[in-house]
Structure 1
């Protein structure tokens, strides 16, 4: 009998990420045991479970987003009438795209943004996938600030036009589905009419004020910069070419890195869907994740 260990086939990378559970199942792992660096979440966010546990009674009521909207508007320093809470950043993008259309300023950019040649121009900030913050002279009509808070320590740049955001990235709670749109009140009202009723769950609305109270944007941004420097040192120490960014991820120029690391329980994002074959996007992990990634790199190198 052969002593060679058969490596399970890794499912192909999803176009928009979020394929960690499928990869874990293919590897015979509990998804909780997978170090998923293919999706970018705040590595310093406090555990959300204790906060959610305080509000389980909200599950008995239909959603009412008025109080949560006021709390978020206060944090973002905008009028409540200029803010719409959404079912994650993806719904925010979908609603604005359906109402306004438009397309990205240049390729590559985030795959959920519209791609029409006419209409408003969209731009992610920090840019996805390059991870670079927009320069002061850059312009767009719709800004996607999903990672802006983690890159800058500020909630929003406060630019004119429309802004979409994702609180699930900031608080590392994608299951809660919390996003938003900032726009003039007339547009917000039109978007609200497009939005399915009770789009954001009662549980998410109830926990949002506690999430905002726990936020430490300047501290998180500074901590992520330090962790990102450690990630770059680790990757380069293993002979990998890695690009620094302003975002909670780095780009690694290494063909097959996803397939190399996945059998060791570490998943990174294949950038082929961005038109960047041979490049992987690696989210910044916490200190424990950095140690685990180093172990996976050592084992894969020594095999």
Structure 2
């Protein structure tokens, strides 16, 4: 693989059909029935173009959920579309905090934007150091909680980075924030920030491509300049509206509490290998001879996410999705067996 190929590698490639999937961080495998019913109900409206009223309804739902104005919201075809738009808000240079999801860097480099990598230290628990960000970076990209390290950075540390310059924007990828009870450390609606949210993970909608961004209205205007007409579908607008309503938020909080308990249980079982202070619904582990272990797990029918495609990590790093204790039993047994084989 080339370096560009490595950056474009994602967990769905590791999770081939027929494998027990610990590579992809999607809850439950399918959307809840009530959400499927809402989407099916919206199918009757696909015979007409998505309307401005539908778009406003979705943005109002997001605004009510996050305590901002609808003008501060744009609905996206998932965060991936948002990353492809981000080069429009860079004046000169970007800094990307790693290890983290690689798609933002791919989008920036593809657009010819100079990118500086801010590498966090494993020995320091992947702690964020604002003073490591170059002063001339007018865009800084941070995942919070971070994929793949499962680190939750303090909001104050990110605010410090955002306030370092009046011309700086901090893009915070909060794709997994709703999987943490109470959503602590969210920066949604904060000055000098652009927050991306995704429906993919909690609501098991990777095939729909639904998400949204929150930022100052002027920043949103720059982000979406020359975007095509009808950029998102009627179904995406319906999904965003539904998932921001009060019943969905209550369900999401319960799911986050369950995920926290499941993560803590898995963390106990894999305590010798877990890195950092995980807070998200996945763990970053380090095992000896990781490439062999990953291949052996695959031979046993279990998929985990390779870690060496993330800047700052190597082949001994693996990312493991959190599932219920019962679902995790085959993974734990297989890992123990393979590590005993090596010893």
Q: Which category of TM-score, normalised to the shorter sequence, fits these structures?
A: 0.7 to 0.9
User: For residues 240 and 324 of structure 2, what CA distance do their matches in structure 1 show?
Assistant: 23
1:50-65 correspondence runs (5 A): 50-64=37-51, 65=55
Find the residue that maps to 2:157 and give its secondary structure: coil
Q: Normalised by the size of structure 2, how large is the TM-score?
A: 0.72
224, 233, 238: which is aligned to 1:192? Answer: 224
Q: Which residue of 2 aligns with 1:68?
A: 58
Q: Deviations over 1:168-213 (max 9, x none)?
A: 2231211111121111112212323232222222112123333334
* Aligned 1:1-303 pairs, distance under 5 A: 15-20=8-13, 24=16, 31=17, 33-43=18-28, 46-47=32-33, 48-64=35-51, 65-100=55-90, 102-114=93-105, 116-117=115-116, 118-139=137-158, 140=161, 141-154=170-183, 156-158=186-188, 159-161=190-192, 162-212=194-244, 213-215=247-249, 216-236=251-271, 241-243=273-275, 244-254=277-287, 255-256=290-291, 257-274=293-310, 275-277=312-314, 278-294=316-332, 296-297=334-335
Return closer, same or farther for 1:219/1:184 CA change in 2, 3 Å cut-off. same
Displacement, 1:105? 4.8
In structure 2, relative to structure 1, the CA distance for the partners of 1:57 and 1:265 (3 Å cut) is: farther
Q: Distance in 2 between matches of 1:34 and 1:192?
A: 39
- How does the TM-score come out when normalised to structure 1? 0.80
Q: CA deviation at 1:89?
A: 0.7
Cα distance in 1 for residues equivalent to 2:177 and 2:217: 23
User: What are the ranges of 5 or more consecutive residues in structure 1 without an aligned counterpart?
Assistant: 1-11, 25-30
**Aligned partner of residue 188 in structure 1, secondary structure:** helix
Question: What value does the CA root-mean-square deviation take over the aligned residues?
Answer: 2.8
Report which stretch shifted further, 73-82 or 250-259: 250-259
Q: CA deviation at 1:55?
A: 2.5
**Counterpart Cα distance in 1 of 2:63 and 2:339:** 49
Change in 2 beyond 3 A, CA 1:100/1:108: same
Q: Deviations over 1:150-178 (max 9, x none)?
A: 12433943332221221222312111111
Deviation, structure 1 residue 288: 4.7
Q: Which moved more, 1:271-280 or 1:215-224?
A: 215-224
Equivalent pairs, count: 281
**Is the CA contact (8 Å cut-off) linking 2:77 and 2:236 kept in structure 1?**
no
State the Cα deviation string for residues 60-104 of structure 1 (Å, max 9, x = none): 232232221211221122110000011101111221233326433
Cα drift, residue 263 of structure 1: 2.4
Residues 58 and 237 of structure 2 are in contact (CA less than 8 Å); yes or no, is this contact kept in structure 1? yes
Q: Which runs of 5+ in 2 are unaligned?
A: 106-113, 117-136, 162-169
Post-superposition Cα deviations, 1:81-137, rounded to whole Å, max 9, x if no partner, equal 000011101111221233326433533232122362432212111123322111243
